[in-house]
Amino acid sequence: MLCIQHSSTDPYFNIATDEFIFKHIDEDVFMLWQNDNAIIVGKHQNALAEINVEYVKKKGIHVVRRLSGGGAVYHDMGNLNFSFTHTGTDSSKMVDFRKYTQPIIDVLQSLGVEATFEGRNDLMIKGKKFSGNAEHVIGKKVLHHGTLLFSSEMRDISGALKINPLKYKDRAIKSVPKRVTNIVDHLGTPITLENFREKIMEHVLSRFENAKMYSFTENDLQRIQKIRDEKYATWDWNFGYSPKYDFSQGVRTKGGTIEVHLNADRGIITAVKILGDYFHLRPVEDFESQLVGCPHEENALREKLRKIEPEKYFKDIGVDDLLTTFF
């Protein structure tokens, strides 16, 4: 097994790294890594439905879709992530959350922390979640990755992921909020995150036969960068991959109330209806039809609205007014 202490904190690069070790390194791999300020959504989730758009925008939080299923999680520098890849002989036994989380439990219990595996894929301390885990399987190979809340900012976790459940209706998998906790709050003897990281790596090196340290080569890093740039840093993957969904929201403006009701497929608007007590200057149907085919994404919509010039259709309602209703 190759053991990697990954130094990058770029969320796009790191999720690309997960794909690289899974698809392009033949040996089994264990990797520890951190993301700075990111929401990582499950492969089958509607990204917009999982995030508090205004909070994410204000805080400059990256939104990245991963390869595996499961729910959305918030990453900051108080969170440590771990990944395993493994090639087996029986594809039916590839999904095994307990197997890949046991080393983490071992280390925590050695530190006097009562960590347990509970439910489908969570690690808990006294009824509170500190680790969510997900897996992706192709053939006889599995990628398992998990989060470890060590000293994360809890206000950012709740703020970034909080969303009005009435805002969206879709058939994507929704994240289920649970009470969470930081590992640091349960340590009898305080240690740093870096110390914790070292203890996990030492344990994995001693537990797995033929485990050895590995550093990415320049060629590895170039290939990861290519995956990052062409896939994980793109709107098409992070938002356009979302399933069909309906979106509705209303706001008050100087020109009256506006309600936007739209349908989207893979992040592209397929139908839109604008209701409210506003006064129109031209047929609103003509305005609505011009939005069909536009990505449900802020910059694309802003550019489209500027070209359409909403002031010609709505009295005292401009681009910024309308843009607010779309997110």
Taking only the tens of pLDDT, the chain with its 327 residues reads 999 999 999 999 999 999 999 999 999 999 999 999 999 988 877 788 788 888 888 899 999 999 888 778 899 999 999 999 999 887 667 778 899 999 999 999 999 999 999 987 889 999 999 998 988 888 889 999 999 999 998 887 777 886 544 444 444 455 555 688 999 999 999 999 999 999 999 999 999 989 999 999 999 999 999 999 999 999 989 988 877 888 888 888 888 888 899 999 989 999 999 988 787 888 888 999 999 999 999 999 999 999 999 999 888 899 999 998 998
- Spell out the SS3 assignment of 153-220: CHHHHHHHHCCCCCCEEECCCCCCCCCECCHHHHCCCCCCHHHHHHHHHHHHHHHCCCCEECCCCHHH
In angstroms, the first-to-last Cα distance of the chain is: 45
Distance CA 135, CA 280 (A): 51
pLDDT given for residue 62 in this prediction: 95
Distance CA 7, CA 32 (A): 9
DSSP state letter for 314: B
Residue-range domain boundaries for the chain = 2-240, 245-325
Architecture of domain 2-240: 2-Layer Sandwich (3.30)
Cβ contacts of 54 within 8 Å, gap of 6 or more: 327
The sign of the CA dihedral 198, 201, 203, 206 is: negative
Number of helices and strands in the chain (H, E)? 11, 15
Q: Residue 2: what residue type?
A: L
Distance CA 250, CA 270 (A): 19
Tell which phi-psi region holds residue 119, choosing left (phi > 0), alpha (psi between -120 and 50) or beta.
left
pLDDT given for residue 68 in this prediction: 86
Please check whether the two domains, 2-240 and 245-325, share a CATH topology: no
Q: Which fold has domain 245-325?
A: Enolase-like; domain 1 (3.30.390)
